[in-house]
Amino acid sequence: MPLPKLAIPEYEMELPVTGTKLSYRPFLVKEEKLLYLAMESQDDKQMIKAVKTIIKNCTSLKGKVEDLATFEIEYIFLRIRSKAVGEVSEFTILAPDDEKTKVEIKIPLEEVQVQIPDDHTKEITLAEGVGVIMKYPSLDVFISQNMSETPGLEDVFKLAASCIEQVFDKDEVYDDFTPKEALDFLENLNSDQFGKIQAFFETMPKLSHTIPVYNPKTKVTSDLVLEGLASFFE
């Protein structure tokens, strides 16, 4: 006789930027085991694979996880993890003002959001009537371009080229081009024009949260900015 299955709660979330609505559930022991095994391996690719598998299993996402922007993957996983393990993350840090004193902090994970700078835009005007529409790099793109290490100039150009969704002028929209054609297009920009492309990446949305940290030794309260998924766990 098969054993009974326990009811699993479901929740709703809305993705930042796109506003896409998803239902999700906490990860189960089998998925937590997958995550711990990946963490023990200390292999970034195994970790990313585990996170993507958990997102596929635990959400109603219809498209490919690989198509999600990095900040979307981080946001979804944080929500899943908070319902599975606990909605408050507690760990020890060094106080920002002296970088010596150990301080315990608590972060309500439900309050952590993706921050979108006011000056961020996907549509970039390069010259009168000419511009590009950018798309956000996926986690897979970052891996393939070795962005986990200090990127070289060639890596920067390849990443930027891979994120061009459309090029437009006064007469036409171009959305069917090869990676080489995108790269050639970028290499023919002047410094100011390419700087606008760089600004797209510099102002990209990111998982970020600011908390006040009180140092009991110096009596100073400092703001600590946490960015990226790994910052919210011990």
**Domains of the chain, CATH where assigned:** 1-86 (3.30.2220), 123-202 (no CATH)
Estimate to the nearest angstrom the gap between the alpha carbon of 118 and the chain centroid. 18
Which DSSP string do the residues of 55-111 spell out, in sequence order? HHHHB---S-GGGSBHHHHHHHHHHHHHHHH-SEEEEEEE-TTTS-SEEEEEEEGGG
pLDDT of residue 154: 81
Local confidence band at 98 (pLDDT 50, 70, 90 cut-offs):
very high
According to the model, what pLDDT value does residue 204 have? Answer: 93
> Stretch 173-187: mean pLDDT, rounded?
94
- Mean pLDDT lowest among 85-94, 147-156, 178-187: 147-156
Distance CA 20, CA 55 (A): 15
pLDDT number for residue 21: 93
| 94 and 86 Cβ atoms separated by less than 8 Å | no
Closest CA to 134 of 194, 73, 201, 207: 201
pTM of the complete model: 0.84
pLDDT tens per residue, range 118-153: 999 999 999 999 999 999 988 777 666 554 456 677
Kindly tell me if the per-residue pLDDT of 75 is higher than 90: yes
CA atoms lying within 13 Å on the CB side of residue 156: 13
Strand order in the sheet with 220-227: 113-115, 206-215, 220-227
pLDDT at 227 over 90: no
The 3-state DSSP class for residue 116 equals: coil
**Phi and psi, residue 87, nearest 5°:** -85, 0
Interval 37-58 mean pLDDT: 83
